[in-house]
Chain A
């Protein structure tokens, strides 16, 4: 365990260096505002995909209502900042907690379902949240919540993303996390072993939903507006695509998925007519060649480079960690 902590520290130092490099690049405007915007969007998407990976990848519960929780975080955060004029930290916490709480409430009945049924239920819940917001005049209804100041910047997004990555990594290695992995592998076996499956499923769902709320709060404080049209089920699918593309159950995968897909979308901005076509073809090709995702369920490691190939076996979803 000691060894682990030392390594965590090492990585934190590396993060600090990366952060410094980017800050310098941004300061001297080597990165123009458009790419700065995309880097922040990438960081927000990393938070979303990593938190969805906790639910879908580690715990094995197929949820596709992530945009709904993101919307809750976005709106609650915006209310805190604009209407109540509280500091950004409070908005972030409130966004996270309210989305997490909603995840908890929703998780209790829906997590009794599994597989396709859970997917449909969460999809519906995401839409219900959006439609509710659409009809609340206090937050602008159909025209969206306007006049949110731009507070999110690169340092905020970067360190929150790092915090969440570490949080989820450590959660996975904790006893609760291992219980979640056991549930993914075989729910009945896990229950037989004495794991309270409902409790851990709800726990994972709550944490995942809460972090989606954090991402939502960062999102609305970056784009000046929280609009119901930004949180449709298409965004849930986008996040799910990132996770599946990277490899369900792999943190490296979720992060890579977020970077690759957001990056593709940004690079292709010059070809608006072809953007969605190329994007879709990329997905099809990747899924045909690597159905288990870029990383499968593995994590990026030095060992991987020694073998020279990313995970040789063509079967996804086994516990390698």
Chain B
């Protein structure tokens, strides 16, 4: 029986391979540049997010380096692929921190991936900023304590409810509002709750509050009930599949009042489902619009289109802003020290980005402006920007 020797040999081979593998890949960071890590979704289900994010970060770094860099050094980007998966994201974070020696990390954008990586970057005291991780647990742990080294560039979901309530009150001048909520989604319930709170506080009345479930297709009974209360406007914070049908059926019933929702409405499928004409007079809140006309955004969109031949999406814009935030935190910290940079990041107030001015609150969520987008003949057009407070 040779099995014993075989096993021995296998193990030797294994050790050799592992040894060979461990030997390579050590790279020292040069003193002339500051390395920023990108823990991005380059492959897998979120591959398009990662690509846009990388484009946005590269553009921001080019701009910052063009202006002389930070602390007299140039910024450089190291990207690690997290395959849109939580365990790989942890590996990628480990690689960026221990091999590339980055001072701060941008990404991932998928909430579950960020939450998986928090232990790694917190353990190494390296700052991480997630462009689009909207889950509250990204910056707050199970016990409700703020994670010292985790930030995000997007506002969390409930904030959209607050913003829309302001818009409805101030711009649409509506006084009586009906709410139609998707009871099977936390996202929808959260938005509705914050909308109601802000709207009633500002003197509005909620005349009807109805609910439905995901995958429902017939809303006519509910809509007729709402119609009877004669509202000035209907708020439907849900995802586009149901929303499309709701808008369509409401218009068929002769409900002509404006309708509004959150970023779940943002889909190319909306005009197909609801019909272009039915979508007129509908609005939704969003994190970013390339049509915003601040000089900074115009410059960004022009540079982005020139470099990549397409309009920047929300991932590109928020990753761009994330990079600016890190650069600002580095300047404030005054030295390349991850822990100090994280502390400086929490202190940032009113930093101008392409998606609005960013100030972090106590839970490391940005307090920033939201965008209201209007559907006009099936096309999204930028309506207005709502500043917080």
In whole angstroms, how far apart are the Cα atoms of A54 and B5 in the complex?
20
Contact with B along A244-275 (1 / 0, CB 8 A): 00000001100110011001001101101101
Judged by a CB distance under 8 angstroms, whether A10 is at the interface is yes
Contact present for A143 and B10 (CB under 8 Å):
no
**CB–CB A4/B4 < 8 A:** yes
Interface residues of B (CB under 8 A from A): 1-15, 17-18, 21-22, 24-26, 40, 42-43, 45, 78-81, 84-87, 90-92, 94-95, 97-99, 111-112, 115-116, 118-119, 135, 137, 142
Could you tell me if B25 and A143 are in contact, using CB atoms closer than 8 angstroms?
A: no
Chain A residues whose CB sits within 8 angstroms of the CB of B87 once the complex forms:
219, 223, 225, 227, 230
Across-interface contacts of B84 in A (CB, < 8 A) = 229
Whether the pair B8, A38 counts as a contact (CB closer than 8 A) is: no
Tell me if B26 and A11 are in contact (CB < 8 A): no
With known contacts A269-B95, A270-B25, A7–B3 Cβ distance under 8 A: yes
Beta-carbon nearest neighbor of B79 in chain A: A272
Known: A229-B85, A267-B21, A269-B95. A251 touches B10 (CB 8 A): yes
Whole-angstrom distance between the Cβ of B91 and the nearest chain A Cβ: 6
Instruction: Give Cα A31–Cα B17 distance, bound, in whole angstroms.
Output: 14
Tell me the smallest distance from the CB of B23 to a CB of chain A, in Å: 9
Pick from B11, B79, B98: contact of A18, CB below 8 A: B11
User: Who on chain A is nearest to B186 by CB?
Assistant: A143
Task: Tell me how far the C-beta of B308 lies from the nearest C-beta in chain A, rounded to whole angstroms.
Answer: 15
B-contacting residues, A294-311, CB 8 Å: 299-305
- Of all chain A residues, the one with the shortest Cβ separation from B46 is A229
Instruction: Give me 16 A-to-B residue pairs in the complex whose CB atoms sit less than 8 angstroms apart, sorted by A's number.
Output: A4-B1, A6-B4, A14-B11, A35-B22, A37-B91, A144-B112, A144-B115, A225-B90, A227-B87, A229-B112, A230-B85, A252-B9, A256-B10, A263-B17, A301-B6, A302-B2
Does B90 lie within 8 Å of A223, measured CB to CB? yes
Q: Judge whether A259 and B8 touch: CB under 8 Å.
A: no
A27 at the interface (CB under 8 A from B): no
B111 touches A143 (CB 8 A): yes
By a CB distance below 8 angstroms, the chain B residues around A34 are 25, 91, 94-95, 97-99
Give the chain A neighbours of B7 by CB distance below 8 A: 11, 165, 169, 251
CB proximity of B209 to chain A, nearest CB, Å: 24
Say what secondary structure dominates the interface of chain B.
helix
* A259 and B14 form a contact (CB under 8 A): yes
Distance of A143 Cα from B138 Cα, bound (Å): 12
* Shortest 3 CB-CB contacts between residues of A and residues of B: A7-B4, A272-B81, A225-B116
**Residues on A facing B (Cβ under 8 Å):** 3-4, 6-8, 10-11, 14-15, 18, 21-22, 25, 30-35, 37-39, 41-42, 143-144, 146-147, 150, 165, 169, 173, 219, 223-225, 227, 229-230, 251-252, 255-256, 259-260, 263, 266-267, 269-270, 272-273, 275-276, 299-305, 321
Chain A residues with Cβ below 8 Å from B8 are 10-11, 14
Query: Chain B's nearest CB lies how many Å from the CB of A289?
Result: 19
CB distance from B300 to the nearest CB of A (A): 24
- For B81, the chain A residues whose CB sits under 8 A away are 269, 272, 275
Q: Do the beta carbons of A300 and B9 come within 8 Å of each other? A: yes
In the bound assembly, the distance between CA atoms of A165 and B6 in angstroms comes to 12
5 new A-B pairs (CB below 8 Å) besides A143-B135, A223-B86, A302-B5? A14-B8, A33-B98, A38-B21, A224-B118, A229-B84
Residues in A with CB closer than 8 Å to B14 are: 18, 255-256, 259
Which residues on B sit within 8 Å (CB–CB) of A144?
86, 112, 115-116
Q: Which residues of B contact A41 (CB under 8 A)?
A: 91
Chain B residues with Cβ below 8 Å from A225 are 86-87, 90, 112, 115-116
Which residue, of A146, A150, A255, has the highest number of chain B Cβ atoms within 10 A? A146
